[in-house]
Amino acid sequence: MAMEKLPPKGYEYNKVLSMMEQYGKNDANWKQGKTFSLVYHRDDAHTKFLQKAFELYFDENALNPMAFKSLKRFESEVVKMTANMLHAGPEACGTMTSGGTESCLLAVKTYRDMARSARPWIKKPEMIVPESIHVAFEKGAEYFDVKIIRAPLDKDFKVDVNAVKKLINRNTILIIGSAPCYPYGIIDPIDELGTIALSKKIPLHVDACLGGFLLPFVEKSGYDIPPFDFRVNGVTSMSADVHKYGFSAKGASVIVYRSIDYLRHQFFIYENWPGGVFVSPALLGTRPGGTIAAAWAAMVAQGEAGYMKNAKIIMDTSRKIQQGIESIKGMEIVGKPESSVFAYRSVEPDVNTFAIGDILEKKGWHVDRLQRPDALHAMITPIHAKVTQRFINDVKEAFTIVRKNPKLAYEGGAAMYAMISHIPMRKMIRKNILKMMEGMYGPEGEIPDLSMEEGSSEDFAMKAGKWYLKLKDTFRK
Ligand SMILES: Cc1ncc(COP(=O)(O)O)c(C=O)c1O
């Protein structure tokens, strides 16, 4: 029964909780290791501990650090511990944010405002990013009116440093690299970007939302990790998510700057508000105390040894799965990922990667699809250590099924994703997605049926299949 109006009389707490449990029954099954994104779970005991830490500061609000000095202390210490982990030096400072996206948005806002103050003649600020940069920076460009200039990747899926150099002009206010990028788990040549940034006197932000709480420990475990943090001269700031590989509760990331000279431009101050002088260090107004407290608790409870132990499990599992996939003749890992995140795909022309994805979905795996190149995506967490072999076997089986039935490429999800990634009419994709969003968030509040079954109420997939069949020769090019 859908709740469209407040129930005249409230329900019993227990009844509400059991309804909620019921509603989650068909959600993605992360508890069995079936998802490869969205949830970073260490173990049940750790989650229970985080819940307690969160609960201790459930009601408190970090909007006013004077009122809740405990939260300010947690935040400062989380920032300090993160800065040290990333070798940010004695002048480092920063803030916590609600997540990776907020940290990325803030980087754009900070450097835009810094340029406004130091280089006021720039009317149309530009930032140079790798093609593989997280989409949060596209959002930041749109929100803060900074032109985004995408530098191509080289054959190893790292940003082409020479291209970056050529793209710099008088309007460039920021260069960004990833450590690693979301699509392929590959680290950009941060040291070379650092050299360029220094020589051109342009700030360099490293988006380590994914790797910030993993790479330092992978490196310490002896893996060959290229320079990615503040040890590279020229890096002026980094984003690192505690709610990803820091294994904290969702809603926690950190943005660290090399010095207050940068951070100062992040703050918002309005002294004339009738509600009082208003100061805000980051994007949000009210800032939940629970997420800040849980982030501190997660870091202090795991310590270096805890993160090292986890990094080993994660990397071993990731390597095993990557090797398993590469042992399938006709499949490959995209590039050479240094971390636990990777993309994989079929390189056999008649075995469609997205069709492999569809079969994996039918087997209960929740897999993300990439474009340019068409690939499937995996972000490994400790939970996958329990399902390593099963997953490899299922990928093998899916590959064999698609090889025997190449037509699967033109059906259901495979057709839809192929169309989305290849159709030259990008505006049409945008229009369709906007329509879907309007349906989801408009008054109907409908959840689209993407089950790809024939006759499903949202038969976008079927239509896509037909288009795809019609245009498949174009797509193949
Ligand atoms: C490299 C990178 N940056 C930024 C983000 C955005 O983080 P969030 O989803 O926490 O907003 C992600 C998310 O996966 C990411 O992988």
Q: Is 132 in the pocket of ligand 1 (CB under 6 A)?
A: no
What does the pLDDT read at residue 226?
Answer: 97
- Confirm or reject: Cβ of 109 under 6 Å from ligand 1: no
105 C-alpha vs ligand 1 centroid, how far in Å?
11
Q: How much is the pLDDT for 446?
A: 77
Which helix (H) or strand (E) covers residue 205, if one does?
strand 204-208
Q: What is the pLDDT of residue 410?
A: 86
Percentage, residues of the chain above pLDDT 70: 94
Mean pLDDT of all residues in the chain?
93
Q: Give Cα 386 to chain centroid, integer Å.
A: 24
- Closest atom, ligand 1, to C-alpha of 99: 10
What confidence tens digit (pLDDT) does each residue in 326-338 have? 999 999 999 999 9
Residue 458 confidence (pLDDT): 44
pLDDT of residue 477: 39
For the segment 137-148, the average pLDDT, to the nearest whole number, is 98
Average pLDDT over residues 399-414: 92
Our answer on whether the CB atom of 92 is closer than 6 Å to any ligand 1 atom is: no
pLDDT tens for each residue of 219-258: 999 999 999 999 999 999 999 999 999 999 999 999 999 9
Reply yes or no on whether the pLDDT at 455 is more than 60. Answer: no
Q: Is the CB of 177 under 6 A from ligand 1?
A: no
Interacting residues of 55 by C-beta distance below 8 A, sequence separation 6+ = 290
Residue 451 has pLDDT above 70, yes or no: no
| pLDDT score of 435 | 87
Q: In this structure, which amino acid lies at residue 416?
A: M
CA–centroid distance, 100 to ligand 1, in Å, is 5
Q: Is the peptide bond before 180 cis (omega within 30 degrees of 0)?
A: yes
pLDDT recorded at residue 450: 63
**Is 79 near ligand 1, meaning CB less than 6 Å away?**
no
Q: How confident is the model at residue 457 (pLDDT cuts 50, 70, 90)?
A: very low
- The dihedrals phi and psi of 446, each to the nearest 5 degrees, come to -85, 145
| pTM exceeds 0.85 for this model | yes
Give the whole-angstrom CA distance, residue 210 versus residue 179: 7
Judge whether residue 473 has pLDDT over 60: no
Cβ(182) – ligand 1 distance below 6 Å: yes
- Domains along the chain? 54-300 (3.40.640.10), 419-477 (no CATH)
Position 476 scores a pLDDT of 45
C-alpha of residue 37 to centroid of ligand 1, in Å: 11
| Residue 269 confidence (pLDDT) above 50 | yes
Range in 21-25, 195-199, 285-289, 414-418 the model is least confident about: 414-418
Helix (H, G, I), strand (E, B) or coil at 171: coil
From the list 316, 326, 475, 323, the residue with the least C-alpha distance to 399 is 326
Buried b (16+ CB within 10 A) or exposed e, 361-373: beeebbbbbbeee
Mean pLDDT of 112-126: 98
Query: Candidates 182, 238, 341: which one to mutate for ligand 1, based on the most atoms within 8 Å of Cβ?
Result: 182
User: Confidence class of residue 149 from pLDDT cuts 50, 70 and 90?
Assistant: very high
For the segment 350-376, the average pLDDT, to the nearest whole number, is: 95
Each residue of 191-219: b (16+ CB within 10 Å) or e? bbbbbbbeeeebbbbbbbbbbbbbbbbbb
Question: For the segment 5-18, what is each residue's pLDDT rounded down to a tens digit?
Answer: 999 999 999 999 99
Q: Per-residue pLDDT for 452 more than 80?
A: no
Distance 127 CA to ligand 1 centre (A): 18
286's enclosing H/E stretch is: none
Give the DSSP per-residue string, 216-236: HHHHHTT------STTSTTEE
